[in-house]
């Protein structure tokens, strides 16, 4: 496997993350007229907290077990809280530029207090959305020229669950119940099921094996399976009973399912993706799984596909919707390219902060018809 060299990106993000802590502490000191001693204290506290989330990630990549769960939940919670806080303060400052000539000094003070009150409400709301089970999103997809073997096919997609702790296991148990209640013909796992910090425990295996679709459970790796360890992830998927399709295809009940390895992690080119798809080409529609929604145009040129992707989380926390859209043209929802259809899900879980804001989790349930 090729390695995805994300160190420069990680360092840039870390620098921006630390800067957001300085900005947030400065906002509090400036807008609430803190004394010099108090302002210095809050800067030091925020600087120390800036290293809590990176330390959490370090622990998760090297150790597993439930003993670390409280520390990791606290670290990831703070990551989400400071991101929401920093961008709220930035938006507040920009809005204040237009309001300072309209409001009196006391009016500006109440405006700043309203900003703090908004944060006190929006952060718990985001945590609530992060901990609640995903909603089942029913999609009826009419496909011209759909083969008879795929008529009425009901497909449930599970993506981006990021199981790395005991509370994620509990949430996944409820997710499995939601899927089984809809009795799909096929379950597709489109990557990022497991994450560093996890051991492929008996409990997790039992949860996945509780999925009983008529035609089986098929999956591909996301980038986090590679971070978890390629060989370890292979063993997990095999133990779970997930039929992994890594740059290969399988014929199921008269139609074909093709799965791609994570395109960005494996540094695949359009040429290599086309070669994989053309090798397994079959007349009519096939189902395609690809974790990241990239190269969809090139994929659509090689055949007729009903494709399933994830990875983007639909931004997970606003305003990261904006930044995610800059990187992914196909960001969320259903797309039609040539004769192919692609669905990009927001995912059924969370990564990092146990929070979601304006990006609810979901289990897509797609029913095919002509």
Q: What angle do helix axes 69-99 and 52-62 make, rounded to 10 degrees?
A: 150
Domain limits for position 158: 134-369
Task: Please check whether residues 296 and 150 belong to one and the same domain.
Answer: yes
pLDDT of residue 10: 72
Output the CA angle 246-248-254, nearest 5 degrees: 130
> Does 125 map to a domain?
yes
Task: Please check whether residues 163 and 203 belong to one and the same domain.
Answer: yes
Task: Please check whether residues 65 and 178 belong to one and the same domain.
Answer: no
Task: Please check whether residues 172 and 23 belong to one and the same domain.
Answer: no
pLDDT of residue 282: 80
> Does 78 map to a domain?
yes
* pLDDT digit string, tens, across residues 314-367: 999 998 999 899 899 999 999 999 999 999 999 999 999 999 999 999 999 999
> Does 1 map to a domain?
no
| Structural domain count, the chain | 2
* Separation CA 150–CA 247 (nearest Å): 22
Burial of 155 (0-12, 13-18, 19+ CB in 10 A): buried
Task: Please check whether residues 40 and 158 belong to one and the same domain.
Answer: no
Task: Please check whether residues 38 and 173 belong to one and the same domain.
Answer: no
What does 38-60 look like in DSSP terms, one character per residue? HHHHHHHHHHHHTTHHHHHHHHH
* Separation CA 229–CA 224 (nearest Å): 8
Task: Please check whether residues 151 and 259 belong to one and the same domain.
Answer: yes
Task: Please check whether residues 284 and 182 belong to one and the same domain.
Answer: yes
From 98, 130, 162, the end of a domain falls on 130
From 72, 101, 130, the end of a domain falls on 130
Task: Please check whether residues 116 and 158 belong to one and the same domain.
Answer: no
The tens-digit pLDDT sequence of the chain (370 residues) is 444 455 677 778 888 899 999 999 999 999 888 899 999 999 999 999 999 988 888 888 887 777 788 888 899 999 999 999 999 999 999 998 888 778 888 888 888 889 999 999 999 999 999 999 999 999 999 999 999 999 999 999 999 999 988 889 999 999 999 999 999 999 999 999 998 877 777 788 899 999 999 999 999 999 999 988 899 999 999 999 999 999 999 999 999 999 999 999 999 999 999 999 998 788 889 999 999 999 999 999 999 999 999 999 999 999 899 989 989 999 999 999 999 999 999 999 999 999 999 999 999 999 999 8
Residue 110 per-residue DSSP state? H
SS3 assignment, position 75: helix
Residue 288 near residue 258, CB atoms below 8 Å: yes
CA Rg value for the chain: 23
pLDDT of residue 66: 75
CATH of the domain at 332: 3.60.21.10
The pTM score is: 0.91
pLDDT of residue 3: 46
* Separation CA 294–CA 298 (nearest Å): 9
Task: Please check whether residues 229 and 259 belong to one and the same domain.
Answer: yes
The residues, ordered by sequence, that sit 6+ positions from 200 with a Cβ below 8 Å of its Cβ are: 194, 232, 235, 236, 239, 240
From 84, 113, 130, the end of a domain falls on 130
pLDDT of residue 191: 94
What does 144-193 look like in DSSP terms, one character per residue? TT--GGGTT-EEEEE----B-SHHHHHHHHHHHHHHHHT--SEEEEES--
Residue 338 near residue 346, CB atoms below 8 Å: no
Place of tokens 């990021």: 162
SS3 assignment, position 226: helix
Task: Please check whether residues 259 and 110 belong to one and the same domain.
Answer: no
Task: Please check whether residues 124 and 163 belong to one and the same domain.
Answer: no
Residue 289 near residue 265, CB atoms below 8 Å: no
pLDDT of residue 1: 46
């Amino acid at each position: 496997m090729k390695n995805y060299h994300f160190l420069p990106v990680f360092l840039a993000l870390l620098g921006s993350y630390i800067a957001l802590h300085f900005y947030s502490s400065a906002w509090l000191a400036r807008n609430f007229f803190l004394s010099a001693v108090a302002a210095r204290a809050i800067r030091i506290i925020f600087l120390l907290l800036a290293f809590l989330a990176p330390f959490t990630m370090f622990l998760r990549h090297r150790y597993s077990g439930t003993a670390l769960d409280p520390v990791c939940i606290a670290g990831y919670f703070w990551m989400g809280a400071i991101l929401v806080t920093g961008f709220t303060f930035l938006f507040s400052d920009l809005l204040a530029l237009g309001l300072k000539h309209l409001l009196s000094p006391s009016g500006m003070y109440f405006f700043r207090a309203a900003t703090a009150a908004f944060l006190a409400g929006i952060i718990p709301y985001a945590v609530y959305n992060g901990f609640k089970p995903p909603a089942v999103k029913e999609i009826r997809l009419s496909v011209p020229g759909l083969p008879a073997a795929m008529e009425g096919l009901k497909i449930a997609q599970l993506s981006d669950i990021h199981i790395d702790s005991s509370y994620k296991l509990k949430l996944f148990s409820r997710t499995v119940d939601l899927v089984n209640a809809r009795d799909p013909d096929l379950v597709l796992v489109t990557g990022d099921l497991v994450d560093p910090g996890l051991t492929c425990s008996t409990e997790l295996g039992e949860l996945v094996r509780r999925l009983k679709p008529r035609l089986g459970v098929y999956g591909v790796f996301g980038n986090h399976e590679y971070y978890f360890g390629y060989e370890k992830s292979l063993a997990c998927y095999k133990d779970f009973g997930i039929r992994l399709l890594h740059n290969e295809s399988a014929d199921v009940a008269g139609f074909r399912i093709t799965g791609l390895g994570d395109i960005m992690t494996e540094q695949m080119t359009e040429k290599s993706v086309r070669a994989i798809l053309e090798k397994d080409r079959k007349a009519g529609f096939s189902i395609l799984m690809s974790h990241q929604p990239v190269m969809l145009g090139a994929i659509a040129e090689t055949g007729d596909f009903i494709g399933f992707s994830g990875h983007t989380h639909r931004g997970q926390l606003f305003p990261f919707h904006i930044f995610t859209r800059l990187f992914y043209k196909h960001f969320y929802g259903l797309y039609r390219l040539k004769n192919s259809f692609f669905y990009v899900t927001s995912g059924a879980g969370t990564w990092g902060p146990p929070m979601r804001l304006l990006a609810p989790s979901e289990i897509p349930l797609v029913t095919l018809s002509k």
